[in-house]
Amino acid sequence: MSAAVQDDRAESIRMIRDSAAAVAPPGGDLKRVRELRFQDPGFDPAVFREMGEMGWIGLRVPEAAGGAGLGLGEACALAEELGAALVPEPLIPAMLSAAILAGTPRLAKLLAGEAVLLTAWQERADTLEVPGNADASRRFIPMAAGATALLLPVREGRKLALYEHPAAGLTIERTQDGGNVGSFTPDLAGATKLAEDVGPALEAALEEAALLTGAYLLGGMERAFAMTVDYLKTRSQFGRIIGTFQALQHRAADLKMQLALTRASIESAAAALDEGATGDARRAAVSRAKARAAEASLRVTRECIQLHGGIGYTDQYDVGLYLRKAMVLANQYGSASLHRKRFMAVSPEVEE
Amino acid sequence: MDAIRIPPPAELDSLEDEHFRQVVRAFLRENYPEHLRNPPKRLHWAENREWYMKLAEKGWLCPGWPKEYGGLGLSPAKQIILTEEYERYGVARTNDHGIVMLGPLVIKYGTEAQKTFFLPKILSGEHVWCQGYSEPNAGSDLAALRTEAVLDGDHYVVNGQKIWTTLAMDANWIFLLVRTDKNAKKQEGISFLLVDMKTPGITVRPIINLEMHDEFCETFFDNVRVPKENLVGTLNKGWDMAKALLGFERIFLGSPRQSGYALSRLKLLAERMGLWEDAEFQDRYARLRLEFEDLKALFGTFVEKLKRGESLGPDVSMLKVIQTELFQKITDTMLEISGENAGLLEPMEGNRDLNIGGLYIQARPATIYGGSNEIQRNILSKNVLGLPG
């Protein structure tokens, strides 16, 4: 990439970060997030519409199809900002849906944020496979309590057709972060076919969703860690600021290194995909980044609780919200263990 | 393969990066002695002199020095490429303290007379330098050093003891940090002194390390008289000068190459032990491998900074910690999976790539030298995170 192109890119990523402030209040006010917890639908449809108006749902959709046509560098930067603010609206699942709705009349309403269309692709826990069994229960649909309708991939011969399925009759289970997941058993009789084959698009969209989830986790762990470092600088015990204790300093340094590795992993994966990586190269880059983000986010957030001491264990103190979010997202779109295996299955030899 | 023309030294800095990389590869193929590739131990002067003199003859000895002083005048980005290619080819480290440490210091702080006298003798191989910084009671706390230099007429009289003076037995000159003001705050009474190793009163005693190698030495100074014009820079400002010299080279302590080398040996070993398909091993290997890939990505972000002309901040300490601890985790794993082979003094099956115990021991000092990892974590917590104290 030339220096000029690189500069343009950096500017575009900076603008996306700034624009996130519309939904993610600077200063880390989590009042709105707390108010939405543990009740249906777990997010604010008006904010979801705002995301549509900002062009975020269609961020990765080509301009010709009505999207913004931006890269994963931009998308990851946005997800990171939203993760820092624990924004609960299901933007990443909606972006996945947008990727497979190209060319269908449903796309416009989703991109506008007027319809919450969630894709019911998953048939079991911890997978990125889409078998598309017509009668198999679909599970773990994020924020399904707010779904306008569901998108149902169904295997038809060698193709993966896409149906729209009513959102009625969902079983909703709450998640640790205050959101929810839905499951249901499809009934094609009441479904409408939207597309003949979304297989390749869905496969790519799942890769991107995994990477974006990693970026969201990165934003969350950065914020939780920043809160913790602030606390170490102000909390006093034994007549000393606790941040002067070397045992705590070294733990903080270790967490900082986890953050740096996660950022390097996410950003290099986004760059690889933006440069056109496909197939095994794409899978390796995404799996590396998601494995790191999943493991690091759990480690960083639980150590942030420990470094806070008792106050970190109270629900009213915000750092716990980040732990709960990591518990939900670490395994969404594949756990660290799944991604390590997937990486090993596709990764090339170590270059010497 | 197309033959690649190797341009004169003065033109190297103006080549495109990728072209430069190809030139370095060609240069090594043409000039590097085959029998010195991937030496298992740090070489002595008698062993690597041949290569050192070849570099000197070709004008490639001092990549980072400005051209006007006989260097290649390479940018940090090109020096990184050079180092990557040297590492890839398995080029042995030379007795490079004059090249890497002393030369740049004299260029920055030395008098004209010092530059004229010392720099050409480094370039010609006549002067081989070693470094006298650490002392038995001044290791991580280097500023606690006590070897003193007292002015007596036209000479400083030096008394004290240095330790970890790498390859001192090969060197004919040593640069020292010495205390010249005992009453000042500890960082402020230190000066930088150049000493001819032939001066009466100097004793060098090798230390055998865990590798059973004698690269480190103790060096004793007993009323050693050093001409006062051998002081570099300002009296009592030696500490600041030595610190100012810690430049982008710190990045090399975090180069992923060492871990990459160890990982490929771990894979080979797992295959020999019949463990490569083992699910538990695969998961362990995957973790190490992913750590390596992320380290590479992180290293890349620092290289990018240098390419943009930025200087490195204290956060470069992260690379050193992550790299060296990964290197150790890999060698720990090698030891663990190799059964009784772990304890063999010689490489398993006589294969140099299966040097399990040797690599395990080689990995130990990585977290100690160049600022121990504990010191690096202090730097990160204070200078990057801004924690107090």
The pLDDT tens digits for B269-297 are 999 999 999 999 999 999 999 999 999 99
Same domain, B200 and B76: no
Q: Say whether both B350 and B258 belong to one domain.
A: yes
In a domain, residue B116? The reply is no
- Residue B342's CB is within 10 A of a number of other CB atoms, namely 14
Spatial contact of B162 and B134, defined as CB atoms under 8 Å apart: yes
- Residue-wise pLDDT for A198-234, tens only, equals 999 999 999 999 999 999 999 999 999 999 999 999 9
Q: Under an 8 A CB cutoff, do B297 and A257 touch?
A: no
- Note the pLDDT of residue A351: 60
CB atoms B293 and A233 under 8 Å: no
Q: CA-CA distance, B49 to B57, in Å (whole number)? A: 12
Question: Given an 8 Å threshold on Cβ–Cβ distance, is A252 in contact with B388?
Answer: no
Q: Please state, in angstroms and as integers, the Cα–Cα distance from residue B369 to each residue in B41, B139, B362, B374, following that order.
A: 16, 10, 12, 11
Q: Is the pLDDT confidence value at A350 over 80? A: no
Return the residue matching tokens 């081989």. Answer: B128
* B48 assigned to some structural domain: yes
| B365 and B280 in a common domain | yes
Which domain-ending residue is among B78, B94, B110? Answer: B94
The single residue of B249, B304, B336, B349 carrying the catalytic annotation is: B249
Query: What residues of chain B lie within 8 A of the CB of A262, using their CB?
Result: 294
| Contact residues of B toward A, CB < 8 A | 88, 260-261, 263-264, 267, 282-283, 285-287, 289-295, 297-298, 300-301, 315, 318, 321-322, 374, 376-378, 380-382, 384-389
Which of A8-12, A60-64, A71-75, A246-250 shows the lowest mean pLDDT across its residues?
A8-12
Token pair for residue B137?
A: 């009671």
Separation between Cα atoms, residue B384 and residue B389, nearest integer Å: 13
**Token pair recorded at residue A15:** 């603008």
pLDDT at A310 over 90: yes
Q: Flag if A233 and B88 touch (Cβ within 8 Å).
A: no
Rounded-to-integer distance, Cα B133 and Cα B135, Å: 7
Owning domain of residue B301: 246-384
Confidence check: pLDDT of A348 > 90: no
Of B301, B318, B386, the CB nearest to A257: B318
Beta strands in chain B, from DSSP E residues, in sequence order = 129-132, 148-152, 155-163, 173-179, 190-196, 202-207, 216-227, 231-232
Rounded mean pLDDT, A301-320: 97
Whether residues B65 and B145 fall in one domain: no
Query: Distance, in angstroms, between A253 CA and closest chain B CA?
Result: 5
Give CB contacts under 8 A, 24+ apart, made by B102-106: B102/B129, B102/B175, B102/B194, B103/B62, B103/B65, B103/B69, B103/B71, B104/B64, B104/B65, B104/B245, B104/B247, B105/B175, B105/B192, B105/B232, B105/B233, B105/B241, B105/B242, B105/B245, B106/B232
A13, A77 in Cβ contact below 8 A?
yes
Residues of A with CB under 8 A from a CB of B: 229, 232-233, 240-241, 243-244, 246, 248-250, 252-254, 256-257, 260-262, 264-265, 267-268, 288, 291-292, 337, 340-341, 343-344, 347, 349-352
Nearest residue on chain A to B288, alpha-carbon basis: A340
Can you give the pLDDT at residue A22?
84
B311: domain CATH number is: 1.20.140.10
Among chain B residues, the shortest Cα distance to A250 is held by: B377
- B278 and B166 housed in the same domain: no
Alpha-carbon distance of A93 to A113, in angstroms, equals: 12
Give domain A201-346's CATH architecture: Up-down Bundle (1.20)
Residue B112 lies in a domain: no
Last residue of a domain, one of B193, B219, B240: B240
The answer to whether residue B256 sits within a structural domain is: yes
Nearest to B13 by CA among B68, B56, B90: B68
Average pLDDT over residues A267-277: 97
Beta bridge partners of A143: none
Contacts of A292 in chain B (CB under 8 A): 290, 294
**pLDDT score, position B140:** 87
* Domain containing residue B227: CATH number: 2.40.110.10
Phi-psi region of A68 (alpha: psi -120 to 50; beta: other; left: phi over 0): alpha
Position B121 in a domain: no
Contact A350 B389 (CB under 8 A): no
Among candidate residues B204, B220, B240, the one where a domain is terminated: B240
Residues B234 and B250 in one domain: no
Q: Which two tokens stand for residue B319?
A: 């690379």
In this structure, the answer to whether residues B282 and B268 fall within a common structural domain is yes
pLDDT score recorded for residue A6: 78
Q: Mutation test of the interface with chain A: which of B268, B282, B385, choosing the one with the most A Cβ atoms within 10 A?
A: B385
Q: Is the pLDDT of residue A153 over 90?
A: yes
Asked if residue A352 has pLDDT above 80, the reply is: no
**Nearest residue of chain A to residue B285 (CA atoms):** A344
Count up the domains in chain B and report the number: 3
Q: How far is B73 from chain A (nearest CA, A)?
A: 23
Backbone angles phi, psi at B5, to 5 degrees: -75, 135
Asked if A243 lies within 8 A of B388 by C-beta distance, the reply is yes
Share of chain A above pLDDT 90, in %: 92
pLDDT band at residue A1 using 50, 70 and 90 as cut-offs: low
Q: Which residues of B touch A242 (CB under 8 A)?
A: none
Residues of chain B with pLDDT under 70: 1-2
Q: Is the pLDDT of residue A236 over 90?
A: yes
Q: Which helix (H) or strand (E) holds A149?
A: strand A149-156
Nearest CA in chain A to B322: A257
Domain contains B366 = yes
B249 is catalytic: yes
Nearest CA in chain B to A252: B381
- pTM for the full model? 0.92
**HSE (CB half, 13 Å, CA atoms) of B179?**
21
Alpha-carbon span B327 to A211, nearest angstrom: 27
**Residue B78 counted as domain residue:** yes
Does residue B120 belong to any structural domain of this protein? no
Q: How far apart are CA A321 and CA A184, in angstroms?
A: 28
CA distances from A222 to A227, A256, B227, B276 (A): 9, 9, 56, 36
| A264: nearest CB among B283, B286, B301 | B301
Query: Does one domain contain both B251 and B336?
Result: yes
Indicate whether B259 and B143 sit together in one domain.
no
